[in-house]
Chains A and B, each alone.
Chain A
Amino acid sequence: MTAQTAIDAIRVAFQADLDTIATAQDLQSVRDRYLGRKQGQVAALMKSMAGAAPADRPALGKAANVLKREIDAALTQRRETLKASGRPAGSVDVTLPGRELPFGRRHPLTLIREQVESIFETMGFEILQGPQVEDDHHNFEALNMPPDHPARDMQDTFYLERPMPGGGEGSVRPATLLRTHTSGMQIRYMESHEPPVRIIAPGLVYRRDTPDLTHSPMFMQVEGLLVGEGITMADLKGTLVGFLRRFFDAGTRVMFRPSFFPYTEPSAEVFISCVFCGGDGCAVCKQTGWLEILGCGMVHPAVFEAVGYDPERYTGWAFGLGIDRVALLKYRVEDIRLFYDNDLRLLEQFPH
């Protein structure tokens, strides 16, 4: 075997051994096998060169040195790779708490509002927002509540000391009061759109009520309005039952009962089977098994006339839902005022 052949053979053998290295120990033994000072194959090769022809010695020595550097570089690189994929020693206490990353919550009224919005969105409703400062026309008069109407007592109103610029869709008049309900959005939308109408309008409303467990001078409502040809009270029932069963529970029972609102005729109050006792009777439902949840009815023809719709051709329905009331029921909060304290001990109980 010539010296050159021996060099090639070592190179091939090394390549095979290199591929078998899996641990630091393997690496050390391969290194010892090839580069060991006494037993190493490269050292042996150097020693065997003493027997080569003197003319060949410089070239062979050079080739052997190249081989040595190659092996060294390959092993060094291999060590780095081994180090990077190696597992660290020791352990950490995985039960220690993780770092508290910033994590805020949406307001519970926002959660309810967005749930309501998304259910109606799937039913094809457009979602609107309107101004909180309103004029008498949109808040009362166009809703069939002329001045001195006794129904205005049901909604004690905050008035502005002097008018301010009004806003929103539909006709713009100076605002003179804080809206007592979101129903003004019915008027604003119909003033600027032709039927069919399919909208909901959530927002804050204000009534001059002394605050207590169930009353707040500001609260959140969502208004719904659907107008078209051939729209019936059965459609109203079907839509609201569908909504309430998705919002609360598929087994929720729903009851419609005659009521009075100046802007709907016929009017109804809607009750659901008590979400706490399932209808058996408890303190929350005052042993009736039912909870009042919203008011609704067929749009009064006087409302259609106020916005220039033909009440012979179009029929429609509207509803108003108190977001706070639903939140009180759904989350069983005891006091409506807690929603406006913004106490983080309450807010942080709700999902993100």
Chain B
Amino acid sequence: MSWLQELVEVPIGPAGAGPAGPKDIAELADALTMRGFEVSAVEPWPAADGAPPDAVLDLEITTNRPDCLSVFGIAREVGAIYAADCHLPEREPAVAADGDASISISIEDPDLCPRYVGALADVEVGPSPRWLAARLEAADVRPINNVVDVTNYVMLELGHPMHAFDLAKLAGPEIRVRRAADGERIRTLDGVERTLQPEMLTIADSQQAQAVAGVMGGADSEVGVATRTIVLEAAYFNPISVRRTNKRLALSTDASFRFERGADVLAPITAIARARHLLTAIGAGRARGAVVDCFPDPPDPIVVRLRHHRIGHLLGQTVDPSFVAPTLTRLGFAPRLERDDESPVWQVTVPSFRVDVSREEDLIEEVARHHGYERLPTTFPALTRPPQAAGDWRPRDQTIRRLLTGCGFSEAITYGFIEREAALAVHEDASDLVALSNPLSEKGAVLRPSLLPGLVDSLIHNRRRERQDIRLFELGSRFRQGDGETPSLALALTGAAMAQHWTGSERKADLFDLTGALTRLAEGFGVHAAFEPDTTRALVPGRTARVQLTIGPDTTHVGWVGQLDPALASRRGLPGAHEVYVAELDLGPLTREAFARLRAAPVPRHPSIVRDLSLAIDDALPAAQVRDTIRAAAGPTLVSVREVDRYQGSGVAAGAVSLSVRLTFRASDRTLTDAEVQTATDRVVSALEEAHSAKLR
């Protein structure tokens, strides 16, 4: 706080409370927070003798405001909040009195380094005075020696990173700003040998690289106790180049953090002048020679047009012009009135440190921040056209959730990436997998080609935590190189179908619980589900079916249902021998369109007649075929066929099965006679005998 108050004249205390200043540090912290500089902590700090209480403010600075990564930057904002003047700290004039010989600077790559300022100073290296070291410590910067500390102090104060080279360790008083040679090596100040690439910029002497520009200095020219003369550096480096270099080297420093966000191209001279003043002031040395400023192509300042009416247009509230211009001025902008009427227009020159401002909206944000978001009204935008319905996916997913939770399945959400091995266990084609180039770990190496691995893992997670009866489903995307991202539904179940109850014993879940749920699901969409014996990866042969949905005139194969291969379940960590049944369906074809065209049929007005048939048939014959034969033979009065019993054992020949089916007949226009039903039933019996050698029992 004491540092801040050196740079901006804001009284703090009950006397200063009001528009001129905050009543205490907490109020100042709030004011900064409400202007976008979140004060995350206010820590008391030991004050100098006799001075008012001091404190350290921890600020969160957003990436667009590198100018506020400094005490002076914050001072400027404080000045705008309290209409107070802020001023730069004491500096030494840029031109030295003795006019002694200085250094030569050449910039070989002005795109990466538009400006380089250097100057010499004779120094006597030692510890910094206590007050200076304490301020560095308050900012979590470790004091090293008076010279290095001065460069860091200037960076914290003004926001501009600096560096000091030991002149004696350079090949001569010559600085070359050049790209690294391919494979050029440098040992940086952290003691690490690094290999550079031509896209990286270096600060070199005539022989070799002495610093990675904007990132870190080299150990070979490090300032130490023996150093007598230093070369001070204050430069401006291209943000993208610094960012690429520190990413490549995995080396982020206080300097690179500022340069990659955008430093102030006009600050280097100020920084050098401040550093030379401080060296003298703390008795660490004195400037030698002139400051050399290599700045081949100074950019023109940016000028942005600000229309007063656009402020209200964007914010929803008019802000007084007499607030707009002074606020911008305090923030360092130079607004010039272009039109002065009830709707003024300004030509605003943007200061070089405001790298985030290039358009009118950016200026409006400055006005809004200092006007206060809390003062904007709350209004509700009018609807100017009828609201649009959500896509088909929404009623589809809602219906699925409703139906499946009603069937006892709970919804799971699992990660979009899984282990490669788990993916290959359900999806054979390795080239169809979508791999991540930078996974967090092998556990998330590929995007899931199927929801099953994740859902099975969730089932196992529950099974390993004392849970016996588990029913889960997941709705989500699966990812394949061939098909892209597609919506999918997976189900998994194990344990009891009916939980143990005092009226009787539990029943274990089996495949038919899952096919039953899928049938219910299909009915919920007004479509027909059929299951055909088939085999697929990860499911037990003989207990696996392909799922076909008949939607309108089309029958589509949408997925699989079956028992999960016990070896796979056990590999994924399923304890003991528990049967796990799973299904996965492609949701692409499934819509509720069937109901869009729905016309209710009349409720039957005539009674139905029921006939039960007990048949002895080959036990390998799928029930679906028997059903198809019955339907084809019975004629239009048959309304339903239902298997009511299936029996094998005494009284039934080996290889055969006794199947009881219940046929329900009804006509919509009359009461059927026994004779009619008998004729139809006889047709069914002879068709069954002919097609399947079925015998009536």
Contact = CB atoms under 8 A, between A and B. Distances in A.
A267 B365 contact: yes
B68 to A, nearest CB: 11
A58 to B, nearest CB: 39
A348 B64 CA distance: 45
A181 to B, nearest CB: 15
B365 A258 contact: yes
B434 A126 contact: no
A265 to B, nearest CB: 4
Of B387, B391, B404, B439, chain A has the most CB atoms within 10 Å of the CB of B387
Interface string B660-687: 0000000000000000000000000000
Contacts of A275: none
A329 interface: no
B471 interface: yes
A228 B381 CA distance: 9
A52 B503 CA distance: 66
Contact of B408 (A104, A241, A259): A104
Nearest to A205: B416
A281 interface: no
Contacts of B472: 342
A127 B390 contact: yes
Interface in A72-120: 96-97, 99-107, 109-110, 114
B314 A232 contact: yes
Nearest to A315: B314
B471 A102 contact: yes
Interface stretch (A28-36, A59-67, A145-153): A145-153
B266 to A, nearest CB: 21
A124 B379 contact: no
B463 to A, nearest CB: 10
A344 B462 contact: yes
B435 interface: yes
A137 interface: no
Contacts, number: 258
Interface residues of B, number: 92
A208 B440 contact: yes
How many A residues are at the interface, by size bracket? 35 or more
Contact of A234 (B315, B476, B503): B315
B434 A124 contact: no
A204 B502 CA distance: 43
B15 to A, nearest CB: 28
- Is chain A's binding surface mostly helix, strand, loop or mixed? mixed
B413 A107 contact: yes
Interface string B447-468: 1000000000010011001010
Contacts of A348: 410
Given A232-B379, A343-B465, A208 B438 contact: yes
A161 B377 CA distance: 48
A220 B38 CA distance: 26
B484 A340 contact: no
Contact of B440 (A132, A160, A210): A210
B381 A226 contact: yes
A124 B240 CA distance: 43
Nearest to B504: A99
Contacts of A206: 416
Interface in A290-305: 298, 300-301
Interface of B: 33-36, 38, 62-65, 239-240, 243-244, 260-261, 313-317, 359, 361-362, 364-365, 368-369, 373-374, 376-381, 383-385, 387-391, 393-394, 398, 401, 404-417, 434-440, 444, 447, 458, 461-462, 465, 467, 470-473, 476-477, 479-481, 483-485, 498-499, 501-503
Given A104-B404, A151-B64, A208-B440, 18 more contacts: A100-B501, A110-B401, A133-B485, A148-B240, A148-B243, A148-B244, A158-B417, A159-B436, A161-B436, A178-B416, A196-B384, A210-B440, A260-B65, A265-B361, A266-B364, A315-B314, A340-B413, A340-B414
5 contacts: A97-B501, A100-B501, A153-B63, A234-B377, A348-B410
